[in-house]
Amino acid sequence: MSSQLGYARLYKPKVRLLWWLSRRSYLLFVLRELSSVFVAWTVVYLLLLVRAVSQGEAEYERFLHRAASPWLVVLNVVALAFVLFHAITFVNLTPQAMVLRVRGRRVPGRLLAVSLYLALFVVSAFLAWLVVG
């Protein structure tokens, strides 16, 4: 039997289009998946900033001025909420996805998560210092 035929014969239950609205945990799952869209938006936004800086001081000032417009502020508030949601859920998930061993002993999951939060704090502080000076 070819593998393709085998696949075609697999039982495929019908799934409703809005299955993820039926339970809170499903909804949270889809929201977590959607956080990736705001991760991408943040990258695009930062690249637009780099582009503005590359075009000179006036363009940099214009970028900051435009970023203060209401719709962009709202978009960035929502994006920040999602990016933070991503950061927290990703850190909390890491101990479950990764087994870290030091000298043959497994590092406890809680310790791994705490060190990631610490890294988040240190990296954030360093970047803020780098930007603001």
Place of tokens 């719709």: 71
Q: Which one, 104 or 133, has the nearer CB to another protein? A: 133
Q: Which one, 87 or 100, has the nearer CB to another protein? A: 87
Residues 41/79, Cβ–Cβ less than 8 Å: yes
Chosen residue from 39, 99, 111, 114 binding another protein by CB under 8 A: 39
C-alpha span between 61 and 55 (Å, rounded): 11
Chosen residue from 1, 8, 97, 102 binding another protein by CB under 8 A: 97
C-alpha span between 114 and 117 (Å, rounded): 5
Rounded to a whole number of angstroms, the minimum distance from the CB of residue 19 to another protein is 8
Pair of tokens at residue 53: 């800086």
Note whether 113 binds another protein by CB under 8 A.
Answer: no
Note whether 21 binds another protein by CB under 8 A.
Answer: no
